[in-house]
Amino acid sequence: MKVTQDEIREAFNTLQTNKAHRVGAEIQLQTFQFTAQLAKAAFVVAGIEGKNAEERNAKLALQFEASNNMELGLEKAVKLAKLNEEVASLTVDRIKTELRLLETMKNLEVTEQLRELYAILKETPADAEN
């Protein structure tokens, strides 16, 4: 259970990269949604022919079917980016935990060595020191 500097560096770099990808995907989705809403509003303002609201909504949905599919794809990209970020975050957390465990184990080894030394000192007669 040895954690190398390269492993630490790679984990933190991966986390930063995945955060950037997530933010980029979210911005791309929000920009697309805003643009799509503007296009739909312009289409509605221009007038949609239809006998009733249901028919007009159906025509609107048909007109923007490709846009809706694109939005779904972007939403999936955001979800994937979030999952990748979470995996990278868990990797960083694992490394931090391993480092804490190594530190604790080292402290225990030092404590054990001190106990052994103390036991040896207790067994050594006081006159032997002089």
The pLDDT tens digits along the chain (130 residues) read 688 899 999 999 999 999 999 999 999 999 999 999 998 888 878 887 777 888 888 888 888 888 889 999 999 999 999 999 999 999 999 999 999 898 888 888 878 877 887 777 778 765 554 4
Instruction: Tally the domains of the chain.
Output: 1
12 close to 92: Cβ distance less than 8 angstroms = yes
Q: Is 104 left (phi over 0), alpha (psi -120 to 50) or beta?
A: alpha
- In which domain, by residue range, is 83 found? 5-124
User: Is 32 part of a structural domain of the chain?
Assistant: yes
User: Is 62 part of a structural domain of the chain?
Assistant: yes
pTM: 0.71
User: Is 98 part of a structural domain of the chain?
Assistant: yes
User: Is 129 part of a structural domain of the chain?
Assistant: no
User: Is 130 part of a structural domain of the chain?
Assistant: no
User: Is 45 part of a structural domain of the chain?
Assistant: yes
Single-letter residue type at 7: E
The separation between the first and the last C-alpha atoms of the chain, rounded to the nearest angstrom, is 45
User: Is 12 part of a structural domain of the chain?
Assistant: yes
